[in-house]
Structure 1
Amino acid sequence: MMLEAVRGLLSHGSRVVVTCSRTGPLVPVLEELGVDVHVTDVPVIRKSMLSPRGMLHLVRTVASSFPRMRRLIQDVGADVVVANTLTLPFWTLAAKSCGLPAIVYVHEAESSLSVAARTLLTAPLRLASGVVFNSETSRQVCRPRSLERRGRVRVVLNGVAGPPATHPARREIEGPARLVFVGRLSPRKGPDLVIDAVSLLREGGVEATADLVGDVFPGYEWYEDELRARVQELDLEECVSFRGFRSPVWGAIGDADLMVVPSRGDESFGNVVIESLLCARPVIVADHTGLREAASGFESAVQVATNSPEALAQGVRRILQDWSHIRDAAALDATAARARLGTERFHGDFSRAVRELDR
């Protein structure tokens, strides 16, 4: 969403300078947009730092980085500083020390954090000139009451880029129902629930296959090993396929009949839910936090209980039993999703929010 935020600001006449803590794949994309990119090693808040030893290391890092941050702000002639995410609070401090407005763009909803950790993470918001949240879910988790009282909070729902063209799902389900999971292969995202749901469907006489589109974070290879072992244990080698990372994902979604989004952990918003809707594919969504918010108002988004392969399997059955109606609803939802949650709407709303909050 950082990239879309930059596009929005550029499209409405702003000059944008981006600073990154390290180089990466976004840097050339930003440079192609004509953005001046500065790679500056600055501290990023991580959960490992929310301990006495971690805090001591953080203080030392901030002390050495802070002068560089202030110098960069002054050198580029900034009028306003937008800090992307809560984990970069020191840009807010640097902006205030330079006498500039600081706006924080928040797209985290870590309600599972302890009260102490969440309080520490959100404390710098008190110094911000304003906050833009990517969802009501994120706003409710953070609750910057002083900023809310002063009207310094905006909610701008994520804008999701859709496929070049939308093709309806197949008219009749002939052969196995084709499910797709798109996301990081991690316990939090719940691809294991999809595997178990496919097994339950087949045990109940419903033919189904699943493509798992995504990869693991380095260090989580053990989890993919567990997923593959589970597939073998359930004798699903011919039914569940590991497709790896795909970008763009439109082909993978378009090849499926429906998507499954079974995340166990909190989500600030469900971009992948909207990606499915933009492809005119029904989607089964775990009923919690930002996933619920993303799915709200779309008939072809079926919400089911969290952390339950049985609920996922029942959701698939529900869609297949009313396939003709759900397929038509998905086509209508694709049009509604483009209007409500497309990137063009987001660009205008985000740039407008920044202009209102930097005053």
Structure 2
Amino acid sequence: MTLGLEVATPAKAGRPRPAPVVMHLISSLRIGGAERMLISLLSAARATPGARYVVCIMNDEIDGRMLAELEACGWPCHRLGRREGHGHPGYLVQLAGLVRRYGVDVVHAHNEGSRKWAMLLRLARPGLQVVYTLHCQGLAQQYGAVARWLYRAAVGATVAISPATAEEGAQIGAPRLTQIPNGVDLSRFRGVGRPREASGPLRILQVGRFARDKGQDILIRAVALCRAAGLETTCVIAGVAVRPDDPWLEHLHGLMRELGVEAAVRIVQDRLDVEALLAEADVSVLPSRAEGFGLALVEAMAAGVPVVAARVGGPAKLIDDGVNGLLVPSDDPAALAAALMRLAGDGSLRRSLAAGGLAAAECYDIARAASAHALLYADLAG
């Protein structure tokens, strides 16, 4: 069922102004954090009174399972079928047509590629408001003076998903900077974790796209160190490769052969059933070199699975070391191995961290994020 949208009309005296029509714009719909967050947000928004949303996917890179989840949210969904890297002005014409058709007041760009198209729309239609979600770090180093000026001229509000990305936004002078943490559907993960006593192989899980920043190589080296120290482990690294012959994925397989851990580490691709993976894990690890938020950590916490993460970006603020997880130095396989061995030998610690994680996860209910976004849209649209 598609939720109906009516063209906005001026509110009569004494009547509340209708909620603004918001177009959610994203470059592609591959399996990833920004895409997953968009679907969760749109699903939760069905409970937002008066919400009026429409979705547009720019590129032709679409995972069928993700699309099915997105369409199940019930909002009108449009696909432009653009090939990545093509900047034909016809796509801008199509976007402008959707804006007119639905009477769009606000365009919310959910990643860097879609932000550029949203900014072009804003320059073409000055009354349109643009919201951009800042998911990652590093933009301050990429943006020169002209890029920053254009950003401030075209983007009406910036959503930072963590204190780390809020700092990034402040560095580029992002207008109307608002911190709204990512959220998860807590009911989806509640009761998934199955705490065990400290016996048998330690079952390690990492979930995230395959990229050097995610530190999968650090985890593989840590597993090798654990096994060299006599700790029996199994490890599942689940993620998404940019392409089948992804060089980073090939590097990881080569590293596993080099360290002799091919039997202990299993790489799986394109899994959407994160709950099933967490159900078979004793610990969830995020050894990132850079991380804007750490959605995989919140999912693990909500499932009651203890977490270990590198002390970078979002995870450094998300985790209270020793209370709801363990933090280790970034890019340090030995420190990660030490944390894993500590957890393997201490069932009490695993249980206490799991309990702390469950409590912390309550702050990241997707319903809160959906409500906060709705308030931002209304405020921005005036």
- Taking structure 2 as the reference length, the TM-score comes to 0.79
Q: Number of matched residues? A: 340
Superposition deviation, residue 39 in structure 1: 2.1
Q: State which of 342, 345, 353 in structure 1 corresponds to 2:368.
A: 345
* Residue 277 of structure 2: aligned partner: 252
Structure 2 residue identity aligned to 1:7: S
SS in structure 2 of the partner of residue 180 of structure 1: strand
Q: Does 1:177 align with 2:202?
A: yes
SS in structure 1 of the partner of residue 214 of structure 2: coil
Further displaced range: 224-233 or 340-349: 224-233
- Deviations 1:9-49 (CA, angstroms, capped at 9, x unpaired): 442221211111135234443333221122236797x7xxx
Q: Does 1:277 align with 2:301?
A: yes
Cα gap change, 1:312 to 1:92, in 2 (>3 Å): same
Q: Does 1:69 align with 2:109?
A: no
SS in structure 2 of the partner of residue 143 of structure 1: helix
Cα distance in 1 for partners of 2:323, 2:334 equals: 21
Cα gap change, 1:122 to 1:19, in 2 (>3 Å): farther
* Residue 31 of structure 1: aligned partner: 71
Structure 2 residue identity aligned to 1:350: H
Cα distance in 2 for partners of 1:213, 1:2 equals: 20
Further displaced range: 98-107 or 161-170: 161-170
Q: Does 1:83 align with 2:131?
A: no
> What residue ranges of structure 1 are gaps of 5+ in the alignment?
47-56
- Deviations 1:213-239 (CA, angstroms, capped at 9, x unpaired): 224221544433332333233332332
* Residue 38 of structure 2: aligned partner: 2
- Taking structure 1 as the reference length, the TM-score comes to 0.83
Further displaced range: 101-110 or 10-19: 101-110
Cα gap change, 1:4 to 1:96, in 2 (>3 Å): farther
Cα gap change, 1:209 to 1:118, in 2 (>3 Å): farther
Percent sequence identity over aligned pairs: 24
Cα distance in 1 for partners of 2:139, 2:245 equals: 21
* Residue 54 of structure 1: aligned partner: none
* Residue 263 of structure 1: aligned partner: 288
Q: State which of 154, 164, 167 in structure 2 corresponds to 1:127.
A: 154
Aligned pairs (5 A) from 1:266-305: 266-296=290-320, 299-305=323-329
Cα distance in 2 for partners of 1:286, 1:166 equals: 26
- Deviations 1:111-138 (CA, angstroms, capped at 9, x unpaired): 2773445962783243223222222222
Cα distance in 2 for partners of 1:330, 1:19 equals: 38
Cα distance in 1 for partners of 2:69, 2:193 equals: 31
- Maintained 8 Å contact 1:101/1:129: no
Structure 2 residue identity aligned to 1:356: D
Further displaced range: 12-21 or 129-138: 129-138
Structure 2 residue identity aligned to 1:130: A
SS in structure 1 of the partner of residue 212 of structure 2: coil
Structure 2 residue identity aligned to 1:14: A
Cα gap change, 1:76 to 1:316, in 2 (>3 Å): same
* Residue 191 of structure 1: aligned partner: 216
Q: Does 1:154 align with 2:154?
A: no
Structure 2 residue identity aligned to 1:15: R
Aligned pairs (5 A) from 1:201-220: 201-218=226-243, 220=245
Superposition deviation, residue 139 in structure 1: 2.1
Cα gap change, 1:243 to 1:118, in 2 (>3 Å): farther
Superposition deviation, residue 7 in structure 1: 3.1
Cα gap change, 1:314 to 1:239, in 2 (>3 Å): same
* Residue 52 of structure 1: aligned partner: none
Structure 2 residue identity aligned to 1:4: S
- Maintained 8 Å contact 2:132/2:155: no
Q: State which of 347, 350, 354 in structure 2 corresponds to 1:323.
A: 347
- Maintained 8 Å contact 1:86/1:122: no
Cα distance in 2 for partners of 1:234, 1:112 equals: 35
Cα distance in 2 for partners of 1:302, 1:314 equals: 11
Superposition deviation, residue 164 in structure 1: 4.6
Structure 1 residue identity aligned to 2:381: D
- Deviations 1:47-85 (CA, angstroms, capped at 9, x unpaired): xxxxxxxxxx85xx3x44433332321122223222223
SS in structure 1 of the partner of residue 52 of structure 2: coil
Cα distance in 1 for partners of 2:73, 2:112 equals: 25
Cα distance in 1 for partners of 2:350, 2:363 equals: 20
Cα distance in 2 for partners of 1:140, 1:176 equals: 40
Cα gap change, 1:118 to 1:319, in 2 (>3 Å): farther
Cα distance in 1 for partners of 2:209, 2:226 equals: 24
Q: CA RMSD in A?
A: 2.8
Cα gap change, 1:224 to 1:317, in 2 (>3 Å): same
